[in-house]
Structure 1
Amino acid sequence: MYISSLTIRNYRNFKSSKFKFKDGINTVIGENGSGKTNLFQALRILIDDSLPRNYRLFPGDFNRTLDKWNGHWIIITVKFSNLDNSEEVQTLAIQGTGQVETDNNGSYYYYFRPKYEFRKRLYDYSREDGKTQLGLNQILDEISIDDYESFFRGRGSGDFSNENVYEQHVGNFTTIEFPDPDNEDSLVLGTWLPREINIDNEISCTFIKALRDVENDLKSYKTSPLLSLLRGRERTVEIEKAAEITGSIDDLNEKIGQLNEIKDLEKGIDKSIKEAVGSTYAPNIELRSELPNELDKLFQSLKLWVGDPDDDGYRGRLWELSLGGANLIYLSLKLLEYEKVKTDKAANFLLIEEPEAHIHTHIQKTLFDNLHKNKTQIIVSTHSTHISSVSKINSVNIISRNKQQSSVFDPTIGLSENEILRIERYLDAVRSNLLFAKGVILVEGDAEQILIPKLFQEVFGLSLDEIGVSIVNIGSTGFKNIGRLFHQDRIDRKCSIITDLDSSIVDLPANPDDDTNYQKHCRDSQKKGAERKVILDEFINGNDTLNVFYSQHTFEISFVEAGNLKEIKECVNDVYSQPGKRAEVKTQLNDDNVSSYGEGVLRLANKHGKGWFALLLTEKLNYTTVFPDYILKAIAHSSPYIGINEIMDMALFRLKMMSNDSECPKQTVASDLLTSLEEEEVEKSDFIDSYVAEFQNDNLTKLKYFYDS
């Protein structure tokens, strides 16, 4: 038995979300504030017996995208697969036409909704001819949180992440249509569980939060996995050994009681009491040692003494160990408890919140390679690329934070097993950061990976990380493996592909047989570039999240054509030491013909490798360096969420740089614009409009145009 899905409706930052899980280990990844903790809380409401069954919610628990929370329902649904045949578990089995489904799936619902009185009033009002939004709001305003009820049901089939299902069984607040509470559909909403049935008896759930007090958890009689493992072991001890141990304890108690220090204290207490109340009323006093002589209590006194692996001769108390070490011990004990003690449970669930908070990178990888235990489903939340890199992509849920709500992505919907396998082979700890980014740019080589982030920061004063964009180096032109992750049905985030068409920089003969060796190389590259364009254009067809942006020749040549010859020339002396070579390349660069300057810049790039040349070129960049248009378009496509505040920050950075640059032809204009902002109350939008009007060919003006278009 395992959880196959979790649906959350209107709870905290989840407006309408569904998570899909596999048997074994599952990973939920997302940035800070995306809702990972809220996901666990929603799940715990249904399966964690440490939370009360009469669990109630508050107005702040409703999703903030609702115009009014009043009248809406919070619904949390767990779907199970592979139910066993126990009576209690079978009460969750989903009903078809009166029969339990053959694939043995089950469902468990938590509802938080208005009480019958108000649901009846909403239904009655929805049937009136003169119903209006004003009239509806008057009813809704009367509903307080005290007018809500919470309860659990099983065997339902309703998917309340579906808007139509929600409107049909909860209500449509726009058209003012509400269902009759006297005619509820139990096949959809589920049935009441029998009073004698307790699902908690059949499952076990442990939530390991990020900042956990492991020492106190191991002391707790109720929650300690160590005590759970020890419980009952006293019954397996041989009678002779048990008698020997308990006899020794009795002797020890007797010896402690006969110590002179104890007898003197006993006499002192007896004397003090008699002096206070007199011998007639004073009780008789005796001090006795009561070390427990029952084996079960003796076992409870056992404590873990631990030591770090590089200090083999020392053992200390648990609190002396690092937080990471303590958490590893707790996690290991919990898994052992599930395996050895709670074997009668239909399922065990282990919810681990951000293990990277206390566990070292290398241990994370080993831990998640070896975590799976029999009958234990593990759900881990993380923003660690190391954990995500060892997670199976088909057992990953991605939470993306949006305004007032979060979206949940299943990255493998519609993909074949071979496609999934190729993606998993590719996602190492470096590249898996694309799963966390708000937007992604895929590039084919080191040059783009090195130069684009540095160029963005020098030109705009912000890093790509600050605007949530990740550059991922594919290391080839095989973009399809990773690119297929980004789709409105999978990861619905914008992704740009930047690649070269490799069009020939020299004229090619009509007859390929007449090619020189160099022309043949150019023709082959051009042919592959054209074929790649056909393949990629077809690949992205109908996919709104993915787009391709092409350099006509190569990245280096496009960099020159954008107007950055000065930066390229500054690299010549660093690449070549011979005066003749330097002069030769500079002559090529100064030629206006692409066949000449193109060959010159490629000679520089290929001399020691394009990656090395890109590192060299980063030292020459500054705010005046010009972005090639196709790269700006790619950045704009990958970050459509950028707002006026970020544009404003970029504008202020560029104006400050220009106003401090004596060689800038518009230094005075930049200074005046900055002064106007400081001295006048100028709206941000008006200020940006003024910037665009004054600097029409500026990098930022072009970027804003690409955002707007």
Structure 2
Amino acid sequence: MYISQIEIFNFRSFQQNVIEFNEGMNVIIGHNNAGKTNLLSALGLIFNQNQRYRPDVEDFNKNIPICHYLTKNEKGIYIPPKITISVWIQESSEFSNELSDDNNVIYAWRIIVDRPYLAKLTYEFFLPEGAIFANYQKDIQKLVDEKKDIEIDFWDLLKRKYIRKYISRIYGGDEKLRNRANSEELSKFDYQFLDAIRDVEKKLLTGKNILLKEVLTYFLDYQLEGENDAELQDEREKRYENFREESGKLIKSLKERIHTEPILDYAKNVGASIEGIPNFEGRINEVELFSALSLIIEKETGIKIPVTHNGLGYNNLIYMSILLAKMQMQCTDYVNEDEQKVFPMLLIEEPEAHLHPAMQYKFLKFLKQKLKEKDKVRQIFITTHSTHITAAVDLDEIIILNIAQQQKLNVSYPGKVFDLDSEEDKKSKAYVKRFLDATKSDMLFAKSIIMVEGIAEQLLLSCFADYVKKEKHIPVSLEDNHVCVVNISGRYFNHFLKLFYYAEQDPLRKSAINKRISCITDTDPTKRKIEKKAKNTKCFPFELQSNPKEYTYKDESTVLFELKQKQKDHNNIRIFSQLKGKGKTFEYELAYWNPTCQLLLTDYVSNRNELESLMSLYLDGKDLDEMLTRVKSEKLISKIKAAPQTWEEKEKKKALIAARYLQSVESNKGEHALELAYQLRKNLEKGQPVSFRVPPYIEEAILWACGQEEG
């Protein structure tokens, strides 16, 4: 069995939300305050029997309109705030995986009895009916009649007079029947929670620690398994007697070394010996001797150091291993039948704390192995901000909590957005799983995303946003708005965009991630000779329609055209590209809109002197013919001269600089972009910086991603 779903109503950040879980691993991600910790806490209200948390006024969801509580229902009463959390427990997808005790535990909670069975538990935190409920009605009516600061006064009244009167109940089966779940069955769930701020060293110092002592006791003579084996039983007894004999000698030796007469003299003098003469006697067993043990780390060199001298990351791993050992112990006959656990569940907040990426990967691999050994742990819930962890787990194991517009919580399942009956979607899912590495996993955590084709855009977008911010005096910092720039490494937007094709009413697309996406892609115009088997070749925009007798032309690529068509149905996604018929690529556009900005000329520009000359001539207002005399590429000269008459001279001059600039950085785009970002940053720091204009389509993409344009 496994916890297949939870519905949370009016608890902290959850107004009314349903979250579906996987049978084994569940990795829950999202930006800060999205509700990850609250989700684990909601599970704890039902399953954590050892430390039952009592909610307070601050645990109610404050986004529910106050009028909801100040309006009488059809029966003419005011309904007090209430927290409701329901979980569904489902039979394993493979019946053979079910353990024998599973059905016995959830038998009374079943709402579907046929296989696969389905059980339900519901936690409620509410104000009970009775005299206190009647008083609540009077106080709320008075509050409504006075019409003061109703919202403030309402929560103040609840905290001051009524929250301590609230009670909690856990019901099994249909909650309308109000059948309380038996605490004996609830205790069969082993809820082990490791919060984000944990001091594991205190729990690892010595065998005096309860957890460590329990685990050491369980594994004492663990190699002698088989309780029904008479030889093993005899060996256990033999070891016990041997220890008793040896420890007895130790106690005797210790007693002989203690000079007791001074102590006994004091006892006689104060009259403590009237009822008998005090003396010392003692025995020690294995468990008591555990207190003398200290956990140490033994290096390969043979050097031994205390665990407190170990790194925090390694100590966290050691503690988790001990905790898993305890979970294993509690599922066996070692503990009495009443205390045996049937369903061990492990919940971990931010396992990446103190763990470097390689250790995070190893830790995830270890946990997955434990899931296969069902006596260790049955279901795992992890909250994380680590892109390395999301890259290490399967796409189907990821659950995303995202605060969308109007503070609405959107729950997404990236592995479920693909239609596996479609060959295209199968291909897309395989591609995303393969290439969703630690870098691209940023898109799952960010508030909004800018997708780009290559490394140059990725390196420069943040700097461009700062220029837009300075120019327009609006808050468009990518960092402040939690916008991530993701390099798709080619024109594969469609594969990744399927993660974000959100549609609330669509059975498939409702699992998609509802956040703003800006896609920046090049128009890349092409031409093709009018002959059989001719292929499209890239061309400059001023070549379009320059020779219609020999070529056919496209003013934008097929990829861009298809992206625009698919985007029409998704309001959260926008495509940004250069002006059709005038633009070409990112680098071309940089120079076209900044034809005199020599900041663009880094050490990685191959024709720097030529471009400096062209920019100076343009600044001085020289004509096109004079500029062409400085160009070394005869092909480019002929193409500019053959441009259609619709191109004005000023446009041609800018296009000439842009085309030559593109040719000059083509082989060093990454290095050039890195150096250019540095130069542009330094320019911003000046009191009177050199003028630089962000290309309009990039500016629009930044504004959209930062929420500065309405959807």
Instruction: Give TM class, smaller chain.
Output: 0.7 to 0.9
Q: Residue 465 of structure 1: SS of its match in structure 2?
A: coil
2:456 matched to 1:447?
yes
The residue aligned with 2:88 is 79
> How far apart in 1 are the matches of 2:267 and 2:487?
84
Amino acid at match of 1:209: D
1:11 Cα deviation after fit: 1.1
The residue aligned with 2:115 is 102
Q: What stretches of structure 1 of length at least 5 have no aligned partner?
A: 158-184, 641-703
Contact 1:6 1:79 in 2 (8 A): yes
- Picking from 656, 660, 679, the partner of 1:600 is 660
2:615 matched to 1:555?
no
- Picking from 514, 538, 542, the partner of 2:565 is 538
Contact 1:112 1:148 in 2 (8 A): yes
1:282 Cα deviation after fit: 7.0
The residue aligned with 2:701 is 634
Contact 2:449 2:484 in 1 (8 A): yes
Amino acid at match of 2:278: I
Q: Residue 144 of structure 1: SS of its match in structure 2?
A: helix
Distance 1:300 1:79, change over 3 A: farther
1:464 Cα deviation after fit: 1.4
1:63 Cα deviation after fit: 1.3
Distance 1:56 1:575, change over 3 A: closer
Contact 1:228 1:341 in 2 (8 A): no
1:406-458: per-residue Cα shift (whole Å, max 9, x none)? 54332334323524332221211111111111110101112211222122234
1:635 Cα deviation after fit: 1.7
The residue aligned with 2:107 is 91
2:400 matched to 1:384?
no
Amino acid at match of 1:111: E
Amino acid at match of 1:414: V
Contact 1:215 1:319 in 2 (8 A): yes
Q: Residue 441 of structure 2: SS of its match in structure 1?
A: helix
1:582 Cα deviation after fit: 6.2
> How far apart in 2 are the matches of 1:5 and 1:515?
53
Contact 2:9 2:15 in 1 (8 A): yes
Contact 2:217 2:287 in 1 (8 A): no
> How far apart in 2 are the matches of 1:348 and 1:285?
50
Distance 1:368 1:518, change over 3 A: closer
> How far apart in 2 are the matches of 1:201 and 1:572?
68
The residue aligned with 1:689 is none
The residue aligned with 2:676 is 617
Contact 1:122 1:139 in 2 (8 A): no
2:466 matched to 1:464?
no
Q: What stretches of structure 2 of length at least 5 have no aligned partner?
A: 70-78, 93-97, 228-232, 333-339, 421-425, 471-475, 503-509, 545-550, 617-626, 632-648, 685-690
1:326 Cα deviation after fit: 1.4
1:512 Cα deviation after fit: 6.9
The residue aligned with 1:276 is 270
CA RMSD after TM alignment: 3.9
What are the within-5 Å matches in structure 2 for residues 324-473 of structure 1?
324-339=313-328, 342-343=331-332, 345-372=341-368, 373=370, 374-375=373-374, 376=377, 377-401=379-403, 406-417=409-420, 418=426, 419-460=428-469, 463-473=477-487
- Picking from 171, 182, 191, the partner of 2:179 is 191
Q: Residue 394 of structure 1: SS of its match in structure 2?
A: helix
Distance 1:597 1:404, change over 3 A: closer
> How far apart in 2 are the matches of 1:119 and 1:638?
51
2:304 matched to 1:315?
yes
TM-score (norm 2): 0.73
The residue aligned with 1:172 is none
Q: Residue 116 of structure 1: SS of its match in structure 2?
A: coil
> How far apart in 2 are the matches of 1:95 and 1:509?
66
Amino acid at match of 1:114: L
1:340 Cα deviation after fit: 5.8
Distance 1:636 1:379, change over 3 A: same
1:632 Cα deviation after fit: 2.0
2:496 matched to 1:474?
no
> How far apart in 1 are the matches of 2:592 and 2:391?
39
1:471 Cα deviation after fit: 0.5
1:111 Cα deviation after fit: 0.5
Q: Which moved more, 1:377-386 or 1:70-79?
A: 70-79
Contact 1:154 1:191 in 2 (8 A): yes
Amino acid at match of 2:564: D
Amino acid at match of 2:499: L
The residue aligned with 2:166 is 148
Q: Residue 625 of structure 1: SS of its match in structure 2?
A: coil
Distance 1:301 1:574, change over 3 A: closer
Q: Which moved more, 1:143-152 or 1:387-396?
A: 143-152
What are the within-5 Å matches in structure 2 for residues 205-284 of structure 1?
205-218=191-204, 219-221=208-210, 226-227=215-216, 229-230=218-219, 233=222, 237-259=235-257, 262-263=258-259, 266-277=260-271, 281=274, 283-284=276-277
1:502 Cα deviation after fit: 1.6
Contact 1:65 1:405 in 2 (8 A): no
Distance 1:463 1:516, change over 3 A: closer
1:158-216: per-residue Cα shift (whole Å, max 9, x none)? xxxxxxxxxxxxxxxxxxxxxxxxxxx33xxx63235xx52244221211122323244
1:312 Cα deviation after fit: 3.5
Distance 1:426 1:526, change over 3 A: farther
Amino acid at match of 2:296: W
The residue aligned with 1:171 is none
1:106-140: per-residue Cα shift (whole Å, max 9, x none)? 22111011212389869999xxxx99975998999
Amino acid at match of 1:385: T
Amino acid at match of 1:315: K
1:342 Cα deviation after fit: 1.7
Distance 1:114 1:502, change over 3 A: same
Distance 1:240 1:231, change over 3 A: closer
Q: Which moved more, 1:232-241 or 1:266-275?
A: 232-241
> How far apart in 2 are the matches of 1:102 and 1:515?
59
1:580 Cα deviation after fit: 6.3
> How far apart in 1 are the matches of 2:91 and 2:220?
30
Amino acid at match of 1:323: L
1:330 Cα deviation after fit: 1.8
> How far apart in 2 are the matches of 1:223 and 1:109?
34
The residue aligned with 1:21 is 21
> How far apart in 1 are the matches of 2:29 and 2:186?
28
The residue aligned with 1:59 is 57
Distance 1:574 1:495, change over 3 A: closer
**How many residues are aligned here?**
589
Distance 1:578 1:277, change over 3 A: closer
2:125 matched to 1:112?
yes
The residue aligned with 1:647 is none
Q: Residue 107 of structure 1: SS of its match in structure 2?
A: strand
> How far apart in 2 are the matches of 1:635 and 1:47?
45
Distance 1:336 1:120, change over 3 A: closer
Contact 2:36 2:383 in 1 (8 A): yes
Distance 1:340 1:497, change over 3 A: same
Percent sequence identity is: 25
Q: Residue 191 of structure 1: SS of its match in structure 2?
A: coil
> How far apart in 2 are the matches of 1:575 and 1:245?
80
Q: Residue 110 of structure 2: SS of its match in structure 1?
A: coil
2:23 matched to 1:35?
no
1:336-395: per-residue Cα shift (whole Å, max 9, x none)? 444465256432101111111122221001111231222221111111111111122221
